[in-house]
Amino acid sequence: AFVQDDLEHVLGYSIVGDAGVIIMALGVIGPGAAAPGRMWILVFIVSRAAFAVWTAGIRTGFFTGRVADLRGWARRSPLLAAALFLVAVASVGFPGLASFDARAELVGLAVVSPLNILLGLVTLVPLIYYGRLLAIGLSSPDSVGEPVVAWRPRASPIEVGAIGHWLRRTWDANRAFTTAAMAVLLSLAALATSAGAFGG
């Protein structure tokens, strides 16, 4: 995921990486893995969905999925920057967060000490590719041009005689904003799920 230059590949490898914890949960025999396994599966589904919508928001707002072409994306779309930050926190977590504790418990049940410490550190690797995406987004754009305005809605005056045309034009003008707003909403849901708001 860190070396890929295509956002869909980054998304795909992130799904594979987090699904590895699900495989580990399924491989642990005993009732102790049921609750953390359910929690992690729920977090996995919601956080990967939020990351997928973030990827769609980038492609919609910037007309590319190539990471190398996205320098400065976070400066141009604060909504997408906030969404990626929330997705990273929801996916990786920190001690005390329900998802983090569930993943740590699964690692502890699956592997004996001291290998559980090493495997626990490996589960934090997504911070590297999230950090790369954010660093690219905060860097200066390669070219100077019209910035992509994906962080605020745009509307033109209503055309009373051509409402259908006005609706289509307004929808087209706000696709980037709508996708970015959906990414933020899903990332907030992912964070709430990661905190245990919806149970496991």
pLDDT classification of 199: cutoffs 50, 70, 90: low
Give the closest residue to 1 by CA, choosing from 16, 15, 13, 17. 13
Residues 186, 53: contact at Cβ < 8 Å? Answer: yes
Residues 93, 103: contact at Cβ < 8 Å? Answer: yes
pLDDT classification of 131: cutoffs 50, 70, 90: very high
Residues 25, 40: contact at Cβ < 8 Å? Answer: yes
CA–CA separation, 18 vs 136, rounded Å? 23
Give the closest residue to 92 by CA, choosing from 26, 34, 42, 44. 44
Kindly state the percentage of the chain with pLDDT values over 90. 56
pLDDT of residue 145: 47
pLDDT of residue 129: 95
**Region 28-52 average pLDDT:** 90
pLDDT classification of 200: cutoffs 50, 70, 90: low
Residue-wise pLDDT for 41-71, tens only, equals: 999 999 999 999 999 999 988 888 999 999 9
pLDDT classification of 147: cutoffs 50, 70, 90: very low
**Region 102-129 average pLDDT:** 91
More confident site: 172 or 127:
127
What HEC string does 10-58 produce? HHHHHHHHHHHHHHHHHHCCCHHHHHHHHHHHHHHHHHHHHHHHHHHHH
* Whole-number average pLDDT of the chain: 88
Residue-wise pLDDT for 173-197, tens only, equals: 788 888 899 999 999 999 999 999 8
Q: Is the pLDDT of residue 146 over 50?
A: no
pLDDT classification of 90: cutoffs 50, 70, 90: very high
Beta bridge partners of 12: none
